[in-house]
Amino acid sequence: MADGPQRGAARATDVAVRPVRVADLAGVIDLDQRNTGVAKPEYWRDLYERYTQPARPRFFLVADEGGGIAGFIIGEVRAWEFGSEPCGWVFAIQVKPEVRMHHVGSQLLDAICKSFRRKNVNKIRTMLRRNENVIMSFFRSQGMMAGPFIQLEKDLDDVPAEGDRRT
Ligand SMILES: CC(C)(COP(=O)(O)OP(=O)(O)OC[C@H]1O[C@@H](n2cnc3c(N)ncnc32)[C@H](O)[C@@H]1OP(=O)(O)O)[C@@H](O)C(=O)NCCC(=O)NCCS
């Protein structure tokens, strides 16, 4: 967009949301590197292999703007983890900086929700850092709210690896 991003539906960028193709991978890797500052080609190639298996309820969708991708979203149906009924998990969404706030992210989320519904799932979940205000505002704008689970963690630096003879 030559005149920069603005808020609101009037500025929605028209994209076609479709399943990722191998030819999109370079664009995904490049977009992630721009967003995070870290190049992870092996990670994205591995995800591509694992999330394009037709028999599995996994979705790796891109926003095709004709001649390139404007963003992508990845998620899957997970069943019975932590006692939860099957639900849709979104674990990655990225939109390229030039078209943010043009409802590309909304179109990606809508599409993956429809994919989840096709798998008879009626709940969507995600996880984000508490201080990520943009992504928090985005998911809140889509009607997502705090759920019933909390995340716990612990450093394992002092736990010897299996087979490690340290005492
Ligand atoms: C989060 C992200 C995917 C949103 O994509 P987007 O295409 O810009 O989002 P949309 O245009 O569909 O925004 C929908 C709503 O989200 C909210 N929103 C989006 N960006 C916002 C911002 N920068 N500030 C405040 N609210 C924002 C607004 O309510 C907006 O609705 P409105 O435009 O009618 O006001 C995008 O900002 C992004 O890629 N961020 C960096 C990557 C990232 O952090 N990914 C998450 C970890 S995997």
Query: What is the rounded average pLDDT of the residues 127-150?
Result: 96
For 83-125, write each residue's pLDDT tens digit: 889 999 999 999 999 999 999 999 999 999 999 999 999 999 9
pTM of the predicted structure, to 2 decimals: 0.92
Determine if ligand 1 sits within 6 Å of the CB of residue 136: no
Give the pLDDT score at 82. Answer: 85
Give the pLDDT score at 8. Answer: 53
For 43-94, write each residue's pLDDT tens digit: 999 999 999 998 889 999 999 999 899 999 999 999 988 888 999 999 999 9
Of the candidates 40, 38, 99, the residue with the CA atom closest to the CA atom of residue 70: 99
Determine if ligand 1 sits within 6 Å of the CB of residue 22: no
Of the candidates 80, 77, 84, 71, the residue with the CA atom closest to the CA atom of residue 115: 77
Cα(139)–Cα(101) distance, rounded to whole angstroms?
13
Residue 116, both tokens: 């989840």
Query: What is the rounded average pLDDT of the residues 138-152?
Result: 96
Query: What is the per-residue burial (b if ≥16 Cβ within 10 Å, else e) of 109-130?
Result: bebbbebbeeeebeebebebee
Query: What is the rounded average pLDDT of the residues 6-21?
Result: 79
Q: Which of 138, 140, 142 to mutate to test the pocket of ligand 1 (most atoms within 8 A of CB)?
A: 138
The residue contributing the CA closest to ligand 1 atom 43 is: 94
| Domains of the chain as residue ranges with CATH | 9-141 (3.40.630.30)
Give the pLDDT score at 81. Answer: 85
CA of 136 to the centre of ligand 1 (A): 8
